[in-house]
Chains A and B, each alone.
Chain A
């Protein structure tokens, strides 16, 4: 089933961390397996924020030397950052396996990202100037508390509660997906993509990387491919209606935009609320009401509908 949510505060920063936590808590019944947040803070010119994991949560219970392995992987990550002349300005670890780095880097970030992901068990969850992508097993409150997300201030955010259907319950199959290697682009999806393998092979031939066997990852890769070819977010969303088969509603966030697309069957829900200073959307109205308890007007987008908002 899965639940998706999106939130924009137009032209100002707000408590998107705690608001998205409330929205995803209200959507918990749509998927309790894992929860993910893509939150956008004020753009940090020059500095990159890199979120990565060096192991899965379930790995922590296996073997006697997992912590040693993790320490070695973290050391290797930092060594490879240094090799790419990236200097670390800040380093945090919310959990033993999830790291957050603030780095300065002038070179080829894609090459650096590929080099780091070459380390065993390592996946870069996000890399960008304003995006921070957090995903882990458990419901929204657990993840928000573990990662200290409630205090996060930002302009917009997308989020996801997952009920695993296409792939395993682990962090690599959790949403949102970062559109590697595109800075600050993230995707959440509710649905099933039926031409996944066909499109995945096409994307792999073009050199794109897939970290999981979750069909939703395709949408992130597909979006990244379109953006790399010069398409706007709106073009990419429009093209996906024709090119991606299946039933889906998905949201894409970039540094300054948030877009949605709904398939030709309109089989997956989304409820929209728009006002001058705020836009909220979610699989169910109950999530919007979690942050806007007053009486509001909401609508359902129709089949093949594409919307893009400026954040």
Chain B
């Protein structure tokens, strides 16, 4: 596990080990789904009742990853290159077995690092533009600057850690993994979020959690208007003021489990406020929903 310790020092946190393709062969579909974090929430018809285990494996697991040598490290200069070339270069380096790639001089370039479908330490030394690291499944990304709109959209698994601010639609339609911004983010954060965890160290703008369907969002600062508007499910935690709530978003009671989980998550990314997490507000969907997970197979056929 020497490689993991190198990664931990590089990334500032400690991701868990994945499974290799061989190890996956013998597991059931249910186990694989659970490993992907798709069944981490036990739903009980009423969407307010969301339970989870403090010790649960988070969504960092990527079961189909090939073995990666995180010690094999290289740098890639984006200067003067178009985005497609940078993304092709990243793929070529991954095929050569590099487990840690450092991107230099991205200078607000759009669509950097999209569609990375394997484990990788990607360190971006600067700011990136729109749709940065979208559609990723597995890598651990650290961005030392700011990101533009739609960062990590449709992210499946892995971790993305942003040191500065982020633009709007942060983590749109995200399905798994951890997406962390130490600064403030724009509007519509986690729109259509379907899983995973979004963590914001600062404030978030209007319409955050709009149409949220699953997963959790933690905002340490304030939230703008219409928080959680039209949310179906999922949980939002806000440490500061909420300007106002959208339709279907209601406050729920913070349980000991919530507090333990929040403390663990925020400690992991060094964002735990000095006064702890007792002051956080928990927001969930207030409407009664059909819970598709609990339908019998013949009922599913009827509605699909």
B-binding residues in A (CB < 8 A): 264-267, 269, 271, 284-289, 293, 295-300, 302-303
Contact = CB atoms under 8 A, between A and B. Distances in A.
B260 to A, nearest CB: 32
Contacts of B207: 265-266
B108 A302 contact: no
Most buried by A among B105, B146, B184, B225: B146
B148 A295 contact: no
Nearest to B128: A285
A300 B126 contact: no
A286 B149 CA distance: 12
A303 B229 CA distance: 16
B129 interface: yes
A267 B150 CA distance: 12
A303 B145 contact: no
A267 B168 CA distance: 9
Nearest to B188: A266
Given A266-B168, A289-B127, A295 B145 contact: yes
B206 A298 contact: no
Interface string B198-228: 0000000111000000000000000011000
Contacts of A288: 108
A300 B183 CA distance: 11
Contacts of B188: 266
Contacts of A266: 168, 186-188, 205-207
Given A266-B186, A285-B148, A300-B165, A293 B107 contact: yes
A235 to B, nearest CB: 23
A264 B206 CA distance: 9
Interface residues of B, number: 29
A285 B224 contact: no
A299 B145 CA distance: 11
Contacts of A295: 126-127, 144-145
Contacts of A286: 107-110, 129
B184 A299 contact: yes
Given A298-B146, A303-B187, 11 more contacts: A266-B205, A266-B207, A269-B149, A269-B167, A269-B168, A285-B148, A293-B107, A295-B126, A295-B127, A302-B186, A303-B225
A11 B165 CA distance: 28
A245 B109 CA distance: 32
A302 B187 contact: yes
A289 B108 CA distance: 7
Nearest to A269: B149
A293 B187 CA distance: 26
A290 B145 CA distance: 16
A285 B206 contact: no
A177 B205 CA distance: 30
A269 B149 CA distance: 8
Contacts of B259: none
B187 A297 contact: no
B130 interface: yes
Contacts of A296: 127
B206 A300 contact: no
Nearest to A299: B165
A23 to B, nearest CB: 11
B164 interface: yes
B224 A303 contact: yes
A265 B207 CA distance: 8
Can you list the 5 inter-chain pairs with the closest CB atoms, starting with the nearest?
A: A285-B108, A286-B108, A266-B187, A289-B107, A300-B186
Contacts of A300: 165-168, 185-186, 205
A293 B186 CA distance: 23
A208 B205 CA distance: 36
Contact of A284 (B148, B187, B224): B148
A265 B226 CA distance: 10
Contacts of A284: 108, 110, 129-130, 148
Contacts of B165: 297-300
Interface in B45-99: none
B205 A285 contact: no
A285 B127 contact: yes
Contacts of B164: 297-298
Interface string B7-47: 00000000000000000000000000000000000000000
Interface string B145-177: 110110000000000000011111000000000
Contacts of A267: 187
18 contacts: A264-B206, A266-B168, A266-B206, A284-B110, A284-B148, A285-B108, A285-B129, A287-B108, A289-B108, A289-B127, A295-B127, A295-B145, A300-B167, A300-B168, A300-B185, A300-B186, A302-B186, A302-B187
Given A265-B206, A285-B108, A286-B107, A302 B224 contact: yes
A225 B290 CA distance: 53
Contacts of B148: 269, 271, 284-285
